Amino acid sequence: MLDWDDLRYFLALSRRGTLARASRELRINATTVGRRLGSLEERLGARLFDRTPDGYLLTQAGRDLLPFAERMEEEAFALERSVVGADERVAGSVVISVTEMIGTRFIAPHLPRLAARYPALTLELSCTPRIVNLARREADIALRLARPREPDLVVRQLSSVHLSLYATEEYLQRRGVPPDPETDLSGHDVLLFASKPAFSIENDWFEARLGSARVVLRSDSVSAIFSAALGGLGVALLPRSVAGPEPRLLRLETRSEPEPRRIWQAVHRELARSVRIRAVLDFLGEILIDEAATLSSDAP
């Protein structure tokens, strides 16, 4: 009889193409992946992969096995979701997939409250820009900045993220306050997001106001831009709920703002019945309230 664990290694290698990448997905060492693959091939009496300089390629036997292994995987995940959903204890581990900024600035500061409320609960924050597959239990809960569209998900909008221009008081004393940051930041250093589609809303708004400003940093990490702005590097576009409470940062008033980002919460429908998952969902709903209700400390 085939061992499901061996098939997990087979599927990871078929999707990732190398032992190193498959081992990272499975969170084990590459030697173990190779050994389990060898065990599976020996049990089947067939070579499942051709070893090439570019990685592992499925043989015909491997291609024949693939759909059966994928069906077993779906059944295994369905069984796991059903068992977790029936769990009535607020205990164990809950994995949340988040962006770095949401994890570090919106969630982490509130975690002592969650720990005090549920001491038997372990929260794992997986900070990644990658869209994880909730059906395959790559995470229990996902917080995304775009509305999830996959089937069988329970989706809820938690918060709106408004952004404004900020710089430190020391920087503005050194370089001067822009007379009209709404239209022209000429003579200033600015920090932009990376030139990627994911940041097009923010960059389009910001770049229309640069004038002859000098771009001194681009980054796909909002946390990195926040830290650089806090260090006095220049003017940055930052979430108001993060930058507003920081006393070293001053907000540059503009008559408009980029379209707010929405934080969407997603959980697989079957997992939403789990008491421990429900407890974390309720907690996220408490702390990620609509930003409009918390901006009074950053009011002009």
Nearest to 119 by CA among 279, 278, 274, 272: 279
Q: Which domain holds residue 181?
A: 163-252
Note the pLDDT tens digit of each residue in 67-78: 888 888 777 777
Q: Please list the ranges in the chain whose pLDDT falls under 50.
A: 86, 290-292, 295-300
Q: How far apart are CA 17 and CA 13, in angstroms?
A: 5
Same domain, 167 and 247: yes
Same domain, 22 and 81: yes
The torsion angles phi and psi of 62, rounded to 5 degrees, stand at -65, -40
Are the CB atoms for 171 and 234 separated by under 8 Å?
Answer: yes
The torsion angles phi and psi of 206, rounded to 5 degrees, stand at -65, -45
Same domain, 73 and 110: no
Among candidate residues 86, 117, 136, the one where a domain is terminated: 86
129: its two tokens: 């820009």
Same domain, 286 and 155: yes
Same domain, 129 and 265: yes
Looking up residue 27, the CATH number of its domain turns out to be: 1.10.10.10
The number of distinct structural domains making up the chain is: 3
Strand partners, 252: 165
Note the pLDDT tens digit of each residue in 163-210: 999 999 999 999 999 999 999 999 999 999 999 998 999 999 999 999
Looking up residue 202, the CATH number of its domain turns out to be: 3.40.190.10
Same domain, 121 and 269: yes
Same domain, 245 and 269: no
Q: Is the pTM of this model over 0.85?
A: no
